[in-house]
Amino acid sequence: MRTKDLGKPLSRAVTVFFCSAFLLLFLRDFKWQGLALAVAVPMLNVLTTNLLPKLFPSDKLLLSLTNFLCALGILVLYDTNPSYAYAQAVYYFIGLVAMVICIYIIRLIRSFRFLVWPMMLAALALLVLPLLIGKETFGAKNWFYVGSVSVQPSEVVKLVLVIALARFMADRRMFPWLFFSAGCLGILMLQKDLGTALLYFFTTILLFYASSGNLALTGIGLAAGAGAAVAGYHMFAHVKRRVAIWQNPWSDYDNAGYQIIHSLMAIASGGLFGVGLGLGSPKTIPVYHTDFIFSVICEQFGLIFGCCVLLMYVALIWRGAAIAMATRTSFHGLLAMGITILLGLQTFVIIGGVLKLIPLTGVTMPFVSYGGTSLVSSLCLIGLLQGVASLNEDNLKEDLRLATME
Amino acid sequence: MIPAKEVIPTDAKIYEVLSLAMRYFFAFMGVLIVGRAFSWLRKDRRLKHRRLKQLPDAGTIGILTVEQGSKQLKPGEAIPVPHEGVLGYLRTCDVVVPVDDVANAHLDFTFVDGKGLFIYPRRGCEASVDGVALTSRRVSQQYPMQHGSTLEIGQAVLRLGVFAGLDVKEAIHYCEMPEAPAGEACIPPDAPPVYPPYPPQEYPPYPQPPYVQPPYQQGSDQQPPYRQSPYQPLNPPAQPPYAPPMNEPDGSPWQGGDDHAY
């Protein structure tokens, strides 16, 4: 009852924001698609935040945050390249359906004890596919094509990774998750997809610490990871190049450092309030639709809004951790924590890369970046988190019932 | 310069002005949305704290009462038991049993609704439920702990009490018992008959002041005879309602439970 009162002002503000932003873009080029998006995106927001909680007890704040970030992605893509935005809107819809399915899966299948084995095998098989039939992009071979649709299996495997880690760590069986995680990391190394490998590695380590509290083993794991990173630095030429660019992008400003320099210049030119939606030249940033979408946001909306987007992610992570803390079984707790860690790390890795805080690695910005697989899998992760939240809510209701003895 | 100005259509100029004006609005909306999200987070946190106060044993399925323990864990102490976790000597365990011969992480336990608390000893650790040594996973699954079961690990003997409402066979008897450390859950049915004796207590103090003053003035030395006479009528009604709760922390609550269940 209380949350309903709190939800309305937020969803009203989000609706006003997106309606006005899409209408402004409609005034720029007078295409009917702009008007359609101005109606459709806020409506999808309002519908999901109002309808889903009627199906099952779900976390409305989490839903609102996710919706805001997804809609922001569509908005920025429509601003820069409308054809991407239409595709992204379709993926957003598919992702929402997948999210609902994930919520039901978590509510129906309480322990993945037997299901986790076939899932792990399928995940490993899926990860190997790009090595066999894949195509190399940006120095990494992590894509393959089904017809004309490109699929990035490492995004899908994230789901399996989190579930498998949570399952085996809850059972306190070390070897299955260790081998699975190591296998995934090995294949990702072969694909030269180091950003995702970094993500998987830190998720595993942090979740291990969360489950066991064993500082010594966590330290050993981190040391091993550092060793592997040094080895990777010497083994892979493109890692060496990226670190060199990170240290001094200006040394090779029109070739290797081009991306990061344009990203930094875009953020700087945005200033506090941005250059104005639909103005400026966001398309000069190299991969503006995936990796560097945060610099486009900063250029168009300004630093203040950029900080707000970061704070939205912080709120999302906070909420995820709160859900994890409120769980009753260690499997669900670790699952929620793993998802939170994964999303938080991914956000940190890409935004840190864009801001030249850490070397740039090619991962997508969750929910915002263009990319069907990424958006759908991120929404699936949120679906799993929502499922855990709804189980928490059920448990709490049961407790209240017991406390008042019917 | 002049031709360039003519090339720019007026629509674009209007849009530019509009967009430049709107950016302040967007920044404001961003701050507003984030502020509302965080105030929601904060209020939810407060709500959670309030709920936790209301439901002190939310998430626990019952308690393990110590029958035989050590200096750190005295007999009669009650340890809340969550749905699942690890029992062991270390403070990081979900159920901490600092008793000799208990390993750092001694056993894993899982509660299954309607069946009981399943105990899975770790490798090299011994445990027995109601005298049955749990030697393998299969034995563990055959002998789950139920309400009133005893668990022997190392030199500790613990007795499980399952809260009412969890569908374990014997759980139904639990609420009928007079003690119930699950008192939080059991208060409503038991409370009404207990409280009526209290109001009469409030009346005697009013007549007291006139009676009290004369004895004090006459002789403060004569306290013993004075104390006995006015207090005696007060004490008998006060004690019986207090007695059951007073016994709770001292004696093990399951002594009564055995009579009912076994």
CATH classification of the domain holding B138? 2.60.200.20
What order do you get walking across the sheet with B78-82 strand by strand? B78-82, B60-68, B156-162, B150-153, B128-129, B132-133
Encode pLDDT of A231-266 as tens digits: 888 887 878 888 888 888 888 777 778 888 888 999
| Together in a domain, B204 and B112 | yes
Average pLDDT over residues A192-210: 90
ipTM: 0.89
Residue A49's pLDDT band, with cuts at 50, 70 and 90, is confident
What tens digit of pLDDT does each residue of A88-120 get?
999 999 999 999 999 999 999 887 888 899 999
**A130 near A153, Cβ under 8 Å?**
yes
> Smallest Cβ distance to B15: which of A13, A17, A28?
A28
Residues B62 and B137 in one domain: yes
Residues in chain A within 8 Å Cβ distance of B180: none
Mean pLDDT of A384-403: 87
Taking CB atoms and an 8 Å cut-off, how many pairs form between chains A and B? 138
Q: Which of A9-23, A57-71, A176-190, B79-93 has the lowest mean pLDDT?
A: B79-93
**Which residue among B32, B54, B76 closes a domain?**
B54
Same domain, B49 and B149: no
Answer yes or no: do A318 and B41 touch at CB < 8 A.
yes
- In this structure, the answer to whether residues B34 and B111 fall within a common structural domain is no
The stretch B84-113 carries a mean pLDDT of 86
Select from B12, B29, B54 the last residue of a domain: B54
CA–CA distance, A30 with B15 (Å, rounded to integer): 11
Contact A304 B27 (CB under 8 A): yes
Residue type, B5: K
Q: What residues in A contact B39, CB-CB < 8 Å?
A: 6
Q: Three-class SS string for chain B?
A: CHHHHHHCCHHHHHHHHHHHHHHHHHHHHHHHHHHHHHHHHHHHHHHHHHHHHHCCCCCEEEEEEEEECCCCCCCCCEEEEECEEEEECCCCCCEECCCCCCCCCCEEEEEECCCEEEEEECCCCCCEECCEECCCHHHHHHCCECCCCEEEECCEEEEEEECCCCCCCCHHHHHHCCCCCCHHHHHHHHHHHHCCCHHHHHCCCCCHHHHHHHHHHHCCCCHHHHHHHHHHHHHHHHHHHHHHHHHHHHCCCHHHHHHHHC
Judgement on whether residues B64 and B38 belong to the same structural domain of the protein: no
Instruction: Provide the number of structural domains found in chain B.
Output: 2
pLDDT score, position A191: 83
Q: Which band of pLDDT confidence, cut at 50, 70 and 90, is reported for residue B198?
A: very low
pLDDT at residue number B175: 42
Cross-chain Cβ contact B26/A312 below 8 Å = no
Residue A73, judged by CB atoms within 10 A of its CB (0-12, 13-18, 19+), counts as: buried
pLDDT at A307: 94
CB contact under 8 A, B51 and A315: no
pLDDT at B232 over 50: no
Among chain A residues, CA nearest to B20: A276
* Residues paired with residue B82 on neighbouring β-strands, in sequence order: B60
| Residue B116 vs residue B165, higher pLDDT | B116
Find, in chain A, the residue whose alpha carbon is nearest to that of B122.
A172
What mean pLDDT do residues A56-83 have? 90
Q: Could you tell me if B18 and B62 lie in one domain? A: no
Q: Which domain holds residue B50?
A: 2-54
Query: Which pLDDT belongs to residue A203?
Result: 94
pTM tops 0.80, yes or no: no
B40 contact residues in A (CB cutoff 8 A): 3, 6-7, 10, 61
CA distance A371 to A375: 6
Is B105 found in the same domain as B15?
A: no
Using CA coordinates, name the residue in chain B closest to A304: B27
- Mean pLDDT lowest for which of A137-151, A187-201, B31-45? A137-151
Q: Is the per-residue pLDDT at B152 higher than 60? A: yes
Instruction: State whether B36 and B63 are in the same domain.
Output: no
**Of the residues B31, B54, B77, the one at which a domain ends:** B54
B38, A315 contact by CB (below 8 A): yes
Closest CA of chain A from B100, distance in Å: 23
pLDDT in tens, B40-66: 999 988 988 888 787 777 778 888 999
| Closest-CA distance of chain B to residue A403, Å | 5
Query: Is the domain of B86 the same as that of B110?
Result: yes
Among the listed residues B175, B178, B143, B179, the one whose alpha carbon sits nearest the alpha carbon of residue B162: B175
Mean pLDDT score, A364-370: 90
DSSP code of residue A250? G
One domain, residues B11 and B111: no
User: Of the candidates B16, B24, B45, which has its C-beta nearest A273's C-beta?
Assistant: B24
Residue B201 pLDDT greater than 50, yes or no = no
> How is residue B177 written in tokens?
């018992």
Q: Are residues B88 and B21 in the same domain?
A: no
- Angle among Cα A393, A397, A399 to the nearest 5 degrees reads 115
- Confidence grade of residue B261 (pLDDT, cut at 50, 70, 90): very low
Return the higher-pLDDT residue of B193 and B3.
B3
Same-domain status, B70 and B141 = yes
Q: Which residue has the higher pLDDT, A62 or B260?
A: A62
Chain B residues with CB under 8 Å of A304 CB are: 27, 30-31
